[in-house]
Amino acid sequence: MMIITQKITSLAYEIHDGMFRKDEELTPSQRGLAVRRMPSLLEYVSYTCNFMGILAGPLCSYKDYIAFIEGRASHVAQPSENGKDEQHGKADPSPNAAVTEKLLVCGLSLLFHLTISNMLPVEYNIDEHFQATASWPTKATYLYVSLLAARPKYYFAWTLADAINNAAGFGFRGYDKNGVARWDLISNLRIQQIEMSTSFKMFLDNWNIQTALWLKRVCYERATFSPTIQTFFLSAIWHGVYPGYYLTFLTGVLMTLAARAVRNNFRHYFLEPPQLKLFYDLITWVATQITISYTVVPFVLLSIKPSFTFYSSWYYCLHVCSILVLLLLPVKKSQRRTSTQENVHLSQAKKFDERDNPLGQNSFSTMNNVCNQNRDTGSRHSSLTQ
């Protein structure tokens, strides 16, 4: 009975704080606080059955959701000129500008999808005549532009969902240093960063952001071995049963590990002078866009036969290159220090107890930033960039 009580208590704390923690990571005082803040049945059902949340997306933490429902989301601190936060005393911020901008993005994405996407079908990459007659530069160019044309439908869906939440008043994340309201609390993508990505990690960090942070929290940071492989496999299961999903995410494991190895071994040679860094960024941008397009073709084709047809037409070249990179280049393993985890938990426990500022920023992104800062500090000498 005691074990069941502990499990329920731990789950309540996880839901309320928007985090996912193990039982042993909670102090007795935190468990007692969780019991007093156990969500009611109405709150729990409201969160889990919210169509624009868990059911359809974008995913949001319970902490952010309940702050919005209770009307606390807009009462946040605003940065002042002296660098300190001052309690916001103005009227509730208006989402009109953010909603208008996002609806404009939706319109452009939909227009692009209905026109350009139909002219550049991904299926043409496996056309027999195209495979037999096209040169390698032509194949690579069409691969990139066809997958570029396939992305606006995702831009449309995610941006529309974000705009609808903003129109309802959900998604406010405080003010920037200039006092401008930010409405990106539950934004699911950053289009500019996606299209200008110079690394596999940069692309993934800006694509389906909320789900990626959820995967990082529930799998990557808790995995005892091969966290990258486990996270990609969980993501494949989360997406569905189509074989193309599994081919994409298994390929993504290879590409991610290989890209990390190349970056760790060569990037520091190209940081100075700025002209050399610009050349490096251009080369890595081309390599990243081609690699991403190569990886996600099965995700679009879905079926296993056309997916293997595509990879066969490319002679599995990027798979082979990735394996060779992993075999020939030294790979530095990430060190998941216990002290780093303890610092993160202490920081989050402190924020949980301090209730003066109910919604400083997205609880997912807050945890993400704290983890990244601690990891960066602890791994500078190892030059490990994930």
In the block, tokens 């099965």 appear at 298
Could you tell me how many helices (H) and strands (E) the chain has, helices first?
A: 19, 2
Residue 18: pLDDT over 80:
no
Task: Decide if 247 contacts 297 (C-beta within 8 A).
Answer: no
Q: Which of 84, 39, 81 has its CA nearest to residue 62?
A: 39
| 246 token code pair | 């599994």
Residue 177: pLDDT over 90:
no
What is the amino acid identity at position 287? A
Please give the helix or strand (H or E) that residue 296 lies within, else none: helix 274-301
pLDDT digits (tens, 9 = 90+) for 70-86: 888 766 545 545 555 55
What is the amino acid identity at position 381? H
Q: Which of 146, 112, 153 has its CA nearest to residue 126?
A: 146
- pLDDT at position 359 is 41
CB neighbours of residue 42 within 10 Å: 8
Q: Across residues 57-68, what is the average pLDDT?
A: 88
Q: Provide the annotated active-site residues.
A: 208, 239
Query: CA-CA distances (angstroms) from residue 198 to 46, 251, 260, 288?
Result: 40, 18, 12, 6
Task: Decide if 66 contacts 43 (C-beta within 8 A).
Answer: yes
Alpha carbons 228 and 218: distance in angstroms, whole number: 12
Residue 95: pLDDT over 80:
yes
- pLDDT at position 54 is 82
Task: Decide if 63 contacts 18 (C-beta within 8 A).
Answer: yes
Lowest mean pLDDT among 134-138, 177-181, 269-273, 274-278: 177-181
Alpha carbons 385 and 238: distance in angstroms, whole number: 26
In the block, tokens 């679009």 appear at 300
- pLDDT at position 333 is 60
Q: Is the dihedral of CA 184, 185, 189, 193 positive or negative?
A: positive
Residue 176: pLDDT over 50:
yes
Enter the DSSP assignment of 37: T
Query: CA-CA distances (angstroms) from residue 32 to 6, 8, 10, 224, 342?
Result: 10, 12, 10, 29, 20
Please give the helix or strand (H or E) that residue 216 lies within, else none: none
- pLDDT at position 258 is 95
Q: Across residues 255-268, what is the average pLDDT?
A: 93
